Each structure stands twice: as C-alpha cells, then as structure tokens.
Amino acid sequence: MNCFLQAIIENSIELHEQVRAFEQSNDKSILIIVIDGRINQQRMHIP
C-alpha cells in the first residue's frame, strides 16, 4: 500500500467533489465510502 488517505466529509457537495476527483485521478486502486448510520442526520440520507 503506497498511500492511505482518511477523511471525514460532512456535506454532500464536498463528497461529490471528492468522488469526482477520484474518478479523474490516474493513481488509484480503491475507493471506500463508509456512512455511519448511527448519526440521525446521516441516516436520513441513506436510501
């Protein structure tokens, strides 16, 4: 593993920007998104 990036993103616009940056990046292996469903605010947005 060459690189490890951990981030907490609180708003959907920032998450969308980060996903777009990941899509356009040539250096990538895997993208993992974890949503903490214990927080009511986040739970409301999980389909």
Query: pLDDT tens across 1-47, in order?
Result: 455 566 677 777 887 888 888 888 887 777 777 776 666 665 566 55
Number of domains in the chain: 1
Compute the C-alpha angle 11/15/18, nearest 5°: 145
At residue 22, what are phi and psi to the nearest 5 degrees?
-65, -45
Residue 15 has, within 13 A of its CA and on its CB side, a CA count of 11
Q: Which residue has the tokens 């356009």?
A: 24
Alpha carbons 13 and 28: distance in angstroms, whole number: 21
- What's the confidence (pLDDT) of residue 23? 86
Instruction: Give the residue numbers spanning the domain of 37.
Output: 1-47
